[in-house]
Amino acid sequence: MPLIEIRNACKGYGHNGSRTEVLKDISLSVEEGEFVVIVGYSGSGKSTLINLLSGLVKPDSGEALIEGRTITGPGPDRGLVFQNYSLLPWLTVEENIALAVDEVFKDWTAEQRRAHVARHIAMVKLSHAAHKLPRELSGGMRQRVSVARTLAMNPRVLLMDEPLSALDALTRATLQDEISEIWQSNKTTVIWITNDPDEAILVADKVIPLLPTAPATLGEPILVNLERPRDRRTINHDPAFKKLRARLINTLLDAKGRTKSKTSLKLNLPDILPEDLTQVNSIEFLTRRGPKRRHESKNEEVEVAA
């Protein structure tokens, strides 16, 4: 049995008139210990997809399940790492993580919980900043706190909603490596959402493209069987990596291409007919009924991106 899955889920927003379907016929199943990355364009419904799994959003039809049970709401078994960190700014790093730990492990002693918090702060290499407030930390450090907070809940699945999108490229690379390392040491199931194909192939076991059809659908999964640990400096020249990346990007681009549709627009051409200006002083010119128009409209077919 897969650990977490979505069966034929559809989701749209808005009411009858202005309704937009975001996701259609989404089916996804992730086994225990898998590292799955879902890649898609910005605004194609990636966040909605992960929120179906986290329970923050309910599907219109179909269902989301964890260990065979329908997901009815958010819970600590599915740790969610937010794109914008969502640390509480009035709590220190330690307190932010403790808030989660105290809630999830109510039956532990205070000492156990404190040790658990300290271990997770150390895991993301932030022991020196344990008593700092989020605003005193850089973006990368904040996201590490967020990852630590989520992992400290010992979730069955780690859901990451574009965790590194708000970071600069260098920090992002470092964090990709760190998260990969952490995953290799504890093998939590991860579902990671991103818009970066390179990032996807670098960290994932399985990459699933979210195709930008309207509404979006999931494409064929691409298995990434590259050796771990993957070294970002050498992997760029690895033919297997290049092939996977080309395949992934082509899948996404092809789907984008197919979404272009044809539509016809009625274009009004400027149609005032030329007049003889040598007759400006004549009576006829003064009594004329304005400029003459050809009164024609022409149809033209133009290609527009949907």
Task: Give me the residues that bind another protein (CB under 8 A), please.
Answer: 54, 56, 73-76, 78-80, 82, 84, 86, 88-90, 99-100, 103-104, 133-135, 153
Q: How far is the CB of 80 from another protein (least distance, A)?
A: 5
Q: How far is the CB of 83 from another protein (least distance, A)?
A: 9
Q: How far is the CB of 135 from another protein (least distance, A)?
A: 4
| The three-state (H, E, C) secondary structure of the chain, written as one string | CCCEEEEEEEEEECCHHHCEEEEEEEEEEECCCCEEEEEECCCCCHHHHHHHHHCCCCCCEEEEEECCEECCCCCCCEEEECCCCCCCCCCCHHHHHHHHHHHHCCCCCHHHHHHHHHHHHHHCCCHHHCCCCHHHCCHHHHHHHHHHHHHHCCCCEEEEECCCCCCCHHHHHHHHHHHHHHHHHHCCEEEEEECCHHHHHHHCCEEEEEECCCCEEECCCEECCCCCCCCHHHHCCCHHHHHHHHHHHHHHHHHHHHCCEEEEEEECCCCECCCCHHHCCCHHHHHCCCCCECCCCEEEEEEECC
Q: How far is the CB of 223 from another protein (least distance, A)?
A: 30
Compare residues 54 and 194 and give the one whose CB is closer to another protein.
54
Q: How far is the CB of 160 from another protein (least distance, A)?
A: 13
Which residue has tokens 């539509």? 263
Q: How far is the CB of 159 from another protein (least distance, A)?
A: 9
